[in-house]
Structure 1
Amino acid sequence: MQDLKENHKVPAILLIILLCSCSSGSTEFQFDRNVFPQEWHLIRITTSITGDFKEGTEMEFQESFILHSSGLFTKTRETSAGTVEGFGKYSFNEGENGTILELLHDSTNQTIINCSGNLIELFSMPTNETLVGSSAPCDGPILFYERVN
């Protein structure tokens, strides 16, 4: 039963990614993936179970990260309780389903969202302007980021 439940989540995640990458909104220009620094902001959190979402100030936290040309990143999360930061290395990897951004954190911190409990976060990159991260396979949220710089 658990395998059946998890098998249905993968198509749902792919559908969400596809919908985001095919949105009708257009930008005046496209970002170059090879230009740094890159600043990414969390714009939407969707629950994997119900599909409900929150945006802007409705979200429990605000989050952003910066990818530096040195291969290092800084990730910042702001909550009502204060600010938490995570640091580490990043890499872009090409896979069967497109580009994946991997963040490898230096240490455990509250900005890491994944199912494994390790120091790695993975984000699909449907376009050069959007990232999608998820812990949906373990009933966690789906996070949508937009490049702002």
Structure 2
Amino acid sequence: MKNLAIIVIFLSVFSSCTKDNKENTTTADYHGKWTLVKMSGSIFNSQTTGTAMEWQEFYVFGDKGTFTKFRTRNTIQTTASGTYIAKNNQDGMVLELTYPKNSEIIGSCYGNQKEELYFSAKNTLSSTWQNCDGPGLDYQKIEIY
């Protein structure tokens, strides 16, 4: 019976260490540069990619909870920076971005200074802006900073 208790304790400790390491690996995966690769509208089959998109943009996520968003539209570059947190919800990991002031490049359903991006595939972040008739925006990781 004593051996069984030791095995249960060992497995509990081992499992919790493994879980922590897995979470750390996952959180490191989103640090770096994520570039807009696909834009879609509310009309069926209205997808654009590359230079055909209405604008070009990317995010750079730092490892200390900060990010910067860069957008180029009609040769005008706009940037906005803020903080983010990674959180898990029922659909997986979500990055919640908070901007300290309003900006035209914030893609939000609520008109506030927050955006949410979720992992729609292993290497794809997608905006929730499409949930309220905004464009569907998909980003892929390009570089690690």
TM tier, smaller: 0.7 to 0.9
3-state DSSP class of the match of 1:135?
helix
CA contact (8 A) 1:38 1:68 kept: yes
SS at match of 1:137: helix
For 1:51 and 1:78, locate their aligned partners in 2 and report how far apart those are by CA, in whole Å.
24
RMSD, aligned α-carbons: 1.8
1:105 partnered with 2:88: no
In structure 2, the residue matched to 1:70 is 64
Residue 32 of structure 1 contacts residue 128 of structure 1 at CA under 8 Å; is this kept in 2?
no
Unaligned runs of 5+ in 2: 1-24
State the identity %: 29
TM-superposed deviation, 1:32 = 5.7
Moved over 6 A (4+): none
Distance 1:99 1:35 in 2: 11
Q: Report if the CA contact (8 A) 1:39-1:148 is conserved.
A: yes
- Kept in 2, the 8 Å contact 1:46–1:53? The answer is yes
**Cα distance change of structure 1 residues 38 and 128 upon mapping to structure 2, 3 Å threshold:** farther
Contact 2:27–2:86 under 8 Å retained in 1? no
Structure 2 counterpart of 1:87: 81
Q: Deviations over 1:74-125 (max 9, x none)?
A: 1000011511111100111001010101111111112111111001100111
**CA shift for structure 1 position 49:** 3.6
Contact 2:97/2:114 (8 A) holds in 1: yes
What's the CA shift for 1:50?
Answer: 3.0
Q: What is the count of residue pairs matched by the alignment?
A: 119
> Which structure is higher in helix share?
2
The alignment's TM-score, normalised by the length of structure 1, stands at 0.73
Max Rg structure: 2
2:55 to 61, 64, 68: 61
Secondary structure, counterpart of 1:75 in structure 2: strand
Specify the SS of the correspondent of 1:136: helix
Which residue does the alignment assign to 1:125? Answer: 119
